[in-house]
Chain A
């Protein structure tokens, strides 16, 4: 059993929901990334999504784009990101790490080279935002050959036929985008999420994480009642932006702890069925 699957099954046994924070590798400085990852795990994160910086992050809002730009000022490339995972794995062999980013840096390295290197580094899953299932069957197989889970997005506008297509390719978990918009938006509608997840669950048997627009404890808790995992990105990046080097780890840790507490107020592994 890989780290993602075993993490979800352990949580299920404990009646808990997964907290998945997102940070961009190299933000605010490359030297802080591995320390931030460990701090997030200590504060209660179950899986880490590590963003691979890209010059043109089309699906992200301004907050995550700024984090990408800060990382790129330090010339952080995909190889550097993989080295950070290697560093992280020296003291944490349990927590799953998902790389999240855009196609071009992966293609620049070569998809097959990347899959091998990611496996060696200790990466557990990869989400390439601009690889919809139609364009990446071969790539998904290359990842699976290395026992890395290809993670896919689903959105409020994904029709059922496409959910079925994703169901065939996806492993680990799927990432449901909670709203029509970009990361960091603020118009989350929980009853929409609830209705759509009910439909998605008829096709998808692996765990479902929900992200985009989850900005506070209340939203985290509400989403945790509907999903298997809660993904928080922009809100954490904002905390990083608003911290000094001295306060960074404490501030991010406190935020993650409060999100953890919100998730732990939710009991039971079965998602709420009424919307």
Chain B
């Protein structure tokens, strides 16, 4: 069997990935790559990372068998990798811990981050507080309005939140603005990207930090079920929780890997964020990947009920896994995600994030047609406490 060893030295996953940035950023990325490659193989670094994951984040996260929901669906068994139990409530912290430790070793005193819903912003503000670094979070002004609680959370943690007024005033514009800050302040500043997108080495580095999810799952599955699952299911916005689960399984060709994108109000409307299902390749935010774009190559505003999936690009490794057929990507609507959200609340006493609810919805869709001995491992990437207002609004309730 061929050993999967992507990306190549230039950060390419087949035709995707790479370093598509202005010359002004190249030196910073070269420095980051060199430092990351050094510390990736450094025993002290890995020991500190693992120590923090265990004692600060609360890993390993369990795999939970959703028995009542599985029985109700009447087919395959649904298992949940409980990333929602991490400190700060989602998988995002795995990556921010890793990058913050790297930033510290690189002598940077200031970290910056972009955020959409605010989860990555909160995870960045958290680690900045933990390691005593200044933190500036860029957030589209539309998102600042929609996610007031998370903005306050970041401020409590000592971060400065800068509303971005350019473009569509959402996640992609926050990313543009963070890049501009980095170009200007690169000497003392480390840019923590929150997903497996951006220029090389970010897609590789964020994947490596998130791969703890899949590595734990392999061990836990063997211990508790004596075998690996039949399929892995995770939601995909930028795709960091999905790649974190998939990566350690890439060479197990008999295990299906399924990414659930946000179909919003339907992929036949213009209000969705199903990049891999409907988009076509292009260049954005430093890498070549699938994009939601118009005929002129302008990036189109996306929609999803879940802010964390509301992004017009996707990690380049997912683009490659799609093209080579190793992973499947499907689209799940707002309504389907909401219905899975409510089902998990009622059957299992777990309030899932709306992002993760997309993965749950697809599991619920295929489970009934599969045998009861089949195991579907769903990445429950985050908890849904942050989504109370959004979900209540759908039921016509205002707080």
Q: Could you tell me which A residues sit within 8 Å of B by CB distance?
A: 53-59, 61-62, 65-66, 69, 72, 75, 77-79, 102-109, 129-132, 134-135, 152-155, 157-159, 162, 177, 180-182, 185
| Cβ–Cβ contact A181 & B184, under 8 A | yes
| Cβ–Cβ contact B19 & A158, under 8 A | no
Rounded to whole angstroms, the CA-CA distance of A194 and B357 in the bound complex is 57
Rounded to whole angstroms, the CA-CA distance of A131 and B20 in the bound complex is 6
- In the complex, chain A residues whose CB is within 8 Å of the CB of B285: 56, 58
| Cβ–Cβ contact B297 & A105, under 8 A | yes
Residue B106 interfacial (CB < 8 Å): no
The 8 Å CB contact of B27, one of A102, A103, A159, is A159
- In the complex, chain B residues whose CB is within 8 Å of the CB of A157: 24, 26-28, 186
Sorted from nearest, which 8 A-B pairs have the closest CB atoms?
A: A108-B297, A77-B296, A157-B27, A105-B297, A59-B22, A103-B283, A153-B23, A181-B184
Rounded to whole angstroms, the CA-CA distance of A132 and B186 in the bound complex is 19
Rounded to whole angstroms, the CA-CA distance of A62 and B162 in the bound complex is 14
- In the complex, chain A residues whose CB is within 8 Å of the CB of B7: none
- In the complex, chain B residues whose CB is within 8 Å of the CB of A72: 298
Given that A56-B284, A62-B166, A130-B286 are known contacts, is A108 also in contact with B296, CB under 8 Å in the complex? yes
Return A73 CB to nearest CB of chain B, in Å.
12
Return B359 CB to nearest CB of chain A, in Å.
28
The 8 Å CB contact of B172, one of A56, A62, A135, A180, is A56
Rounded to whole angstroms, the CA-CA distance of A129 and B173 in the bound complex is 18
Rounded to whole angstroms, the CA-CA distance of A253 and B232 in the bound complex is 62
Rounded to whole angstroms, the CA-CA distance of A47 and B359 in the bound complex is 54
| Cβ–Cβ contact B167 & A55, under 8 A | yes
Rounded to whole angstroms, the CA-CA distance of A128 and B96 in the bound complex is 32
- The B interface is mostly helix, strand or loop, or mixed, namely mixed
Question: 25 pairs across A/B with beta carbons < 8 Å?
Answer: A55-B167, A55-B298, A56-B167, A56-B172, A58-B176, A58-B285, A58-B286, A75-B296, A103-B282, A103-B283, A104-B282, A104-B284, A106-B297, A108-B282, A108-B296, A108-B297, A132-B19, A155-B23, A177-B23, A177-B24, A180-B24, A180-B186, A181-B184, A182-B24, A182-B180
Return B197 CB to nearest CB of chain A, in Å.
13
- In the complex, chain A residues whose CB is within 8 Å of the CB of B26: 132, 155, 157-158, 162
Chain A residue with the shortest CB-CB distance to B313: A56
Residue B183 interfacial (CB < 8 Å): yes
Rounded to whole angstroms, the CA-CA distance of A119 and B283 in the bound complex is 23
| Cβ–Cβ contact B283 & A104, under 8 A | yes
How extensive is the interface on chain B, given as a class?
Answer: 20 to 34
- In the complex, chain A residues whose CB is within 8 Å of the CB of B19: 132, 134-135
| Cβ–Cβ contact B22 & A129, under 8 A | yes
If A155-B24, A181-B184, A182-B24 are given as contacts, then 14 extra A-B residue pairs at C-beta distance below 8 Å, sorted by A number, are A56-B176, A59-B24, A59-B180, A77-B297, A103-B283, A104-B283, A104-B284, A104-B298, A105-B296, A134-B19, A135-B19, A153-B23, A157-B26, A157-B27
Chain A residue with the shortest CB-CB distance to B199: A130
- In the complex, chain B residues whose CB is within 8 Å of the CB of A159: 27
- In the complex, chain B residues whose CB is within 8 Å of the CB of A108: 282, 293, 295-297
Rounded to whole angstroms, the CA-CA distance of A153 and B19 in the bound complex is 15
Among A106, A109, A153, A182, find the residue whose CB has the most chain B CB atoms closer than 10 A: A182
Rounded to whole angstroms, the CA-CA distance of A130 and B281 in the bound complex is 15
Rounded to whole angstroms, the CA-CA distance of A181 and B181 in the bound complex is 8
The 8 Å CB contact of A132, one of B21, B173, B293, is B21
- In the complex, chain B residues whose CB is within 8 Å of the CB of A154: 23
Given that A158-B23, A177-B23 are known contacts, is A107 also in contact with B297, CB under 8 Å in the complex? yes
Chain B residue with the shortest CB-CB distance to A65: B166
| Cβ–Cβ contact A58 & B27, under 8 A | no
The 8 Å CB contact of A135, one of B20, B28, B293, is B20
Among B19, B27, B172, B299, find the residue whose CB has the most chain A CB atoms closer than 10 A: B27
| Cβ–Cβ contact B176 & A102, under 8 A | no
Rounded to whole angstroms, the CA-CA distance of A103 and B288 in the bound complex is 10
- In the complex, chain B residues whose CB is within 8 Å of the CB of A130: 20-22, 283, 286
Using an 8 Å CB-CB cutoff, how does the interface string of B286-316 with A read, 1 for contact, 0 for none?
A: 1000010101111100000000000000000
Return B252 CB to nearest CB of chain A, in Å.
32
- In the complex, chain A residues whose CB is within 8 Å of the CB of B186: 157, 180
The 8 Å CB contact of B10, one of A103, A134, A153, is A134
Rounded to whole angstroms, the CA-CA distance of A268 and B166 in the bound complex is 43
- In the complex, chain B residues whose CB is within 8 Å of the CB of A57: 176
The 8 Å CB contact of A58, one of B179, B291, B293, is B179
| Cβ–Cβ contact A104 & B293, under 8 A | yes
Residue B18 interfacial (CB < 8 Å): yes
| Cβ–Cβ contact B22 & A54, under 8 A | no
List which B304-333 residues lie within 8 A (CB) of chain A. Answer: none
List which B1-53 residues lie within 8 A (CB) of chain A. Answer: 10, 18-24, 26-28
- In the complex, chain A residues whose CB is within 8 Å of the CB of B297: 54, 77-78, 104-109
Chain A residue with the shortest CB-CB distance to B172: A56
Rounded to whole angstroms, the CA-CA distance of A79 and B27 in the bound complex is 34
Rounded to whole angstroms, the CA-CA distance of A108 and B281 in the bound complex is 9
Using an 8 Å CB-CB cutoff, how does the interface string of B170-192 with A read, 1 for contact, 0 for none?
A: 00110010011001101000000
The 8 Å CB contact of A102, one of B166, B167, B283, is B283
Rounded to whole angstroms, the CA-CA distance of A177 and B24 in the bound complex is 8
Return B129 CB to nearest CB of chain A, in Å.
28
- In the complex, chain A residues whose CB is within 8 Å of the CB of B180: 58-59, 61, 181-182
Return A131 CB to nearest CB of chain B, in Å.
7
Rounded to whole angstroms, the CA-CA distance of A78 and B298 in the bound complex is 10
Rounded to whole angstroms, the CA-CA distance of A158 and B27 in the bound complex is 7
- In the complex, chain A residues whose CB is within 8 Å of the CB of B27: 155, 157-159
Return A100 CB to nearest CB of chain B, in Å.
11
- In the complex, chain B residues whose CB is within 8 Å of the CB of A158: 23, 26-27
Return B125 CB to nearest CB of chain A, in Å.
23
Rounded to whole angstroms, the CA-CA distance of A142 and B239 in the bound complex is 34
- In the complex, chain B residues whose CB is within 8 Å of the CB of A181: 24, 180, 183-184
| Cβ–Cβ contact A182 & B293, under 8 A | no
- In the complex, chain B residues whose CB is within 8 Å of the CB of A129: 22
